[in-house]
Amino acid sequence: MNDSTTPTGVASAEAEPATAAVAPRRTPAAAPGRLRSRLRSEVLIVLGLSLGQSAVYALVNIAARLTLTTPLGEQSTAMNPSRSPRPYLDLTYQLLSIGFALVPVALALYLLSEPGRRATARIGLDWRRPWRNLAAGVGLAALIGVPGLALYLAGRALGITVEVQAATLNDHWWTVPVLVLAALQNALLEEVVVAGYLIERLEQLGWRPASVLAASAVMRGAYHLYQGFGPFLGNLVMGLIFGEYYRRRRRTMPLVVAHTLIDVVAFVGYALLPAGALAALGLS
């Protein structure tokens, strides 16, 4: 899950024949030299406007934390905070923050679109085979969620992870719906940009599969560094698993489902669980 610490196909192609939907997926061919230069600039711009920017701020944040006299394990960070003591102004700020955070998603999809083929189809961000998407998403959420919590708790015990307050919104009628929307926003932003867009573009640039996977995973871990080294490692592993799933299946929808479920459990669970239960889990 991502809590930003900041204000938050270019090549033509013929339409695919009708049989392409059932053809096996292949790694895109590397782009010609002149196009590769343009794609490199494009990737830097997209990341600089979105999660790459968050990663840079997270690196500065963890450096600042490590140089404090207070040990890292005794520090804390708040996600999804209230933005105003006035409830409806707070709601307005929350919705604006969610909406503008999705602009890089629209940009990535726009850049991946090609004549005769929508970007959503290219990266599998659709509800084709919905039950399979749901089943795969639930399975991935279980695969990542439980070990992720274990890594967080281990990091807290070792003093290398800060206390993460997953939801510090005031209690309003709209609190849970906004937290669900925030979870969906995080999922769309991270899976479209870091799984779909970044992997597609690095393959077009001619990167080897292992390098593509490593770059996507390290980026995912980097923008979580503000939470400490436990979440960095947990999200690095998540990036490797999600990245390999995308490389093999070319579908981001199951990843969005899984990521949304993980964040909904974290955000809404934190908001609804009593203080005693949170303390028992090391989350308060």
Tens-level pLDDT at each residue, the chain (284 residues): 665 544 443 333 333 444 344 444 556 667 777 889 999 999 999 999 999 999 999 999 999 999 999 999 999 999 999 999 999 999 999 999 999 999 999 999 999 998 888 999 999 999 889 999 999 999 999 999 989 888 888 999 999 999 988 878 888 999 999 999 999 999 999 999 999 999 999 999 999 999 999 999 999 999 999 999 999 999 999 999 999 999 999 999 999 999 999 999 989 886 666 566 555 555 55
Q: What is the pLDDT of residue 20?
A: 40
Given its phi and psi angles, is residue 86 left (phi above 0), alpha (psi -120 to 50 degrees) or beta? beta
- Which residue has tokens 């980097």? 222
Structural tokens at position 13: 């192609």
State the DSSP code for 76: E
Tokens 């084709």 sit at which residue? 128
| Lookup: tokens for 235 | 């999200």
What local confidence, expressed as pLDDT, does residue 244 receive?
Answer: 98
Q: What is the pLDDT of residue 160?
A: 94
H/E stretch holding 78 reads: strand 76-78
> In angstroms, rounded to a whole number, what is the distance separating the alpha carbons of residues 198 and 255?
15
Can you give the pLDDT at residue 158? 93
SS3 of residue 6 by DSSP: coil
Helices and strands in the chain: count of H runs, count of E runs: 12, 2
What is the distance between the alpha carbons of residues 139 and 142, in angstroms, rounded to a whole number? 5
What pLDDT, on a 0 to 100 scale, did the predictor assign at position 25? 57
The span from the CA of 110 to the CA of 49, in Å, is: 15
pLDDT at 8: 43
Which is nearest to 137 in space by CA: 266, 269, 253, 216?
253
Output the pLDDT for position 263: 95
pTM of the prediction?
0.86
Residue-by-residue DSSP string for 198-226: HHHHHHHTT--HHHHHHHHHHHHHHTTGG
Which residues contact residue 128 at a Cβ distance below 8 angstroms, ignoring those fewer than 6 apart?
A: none
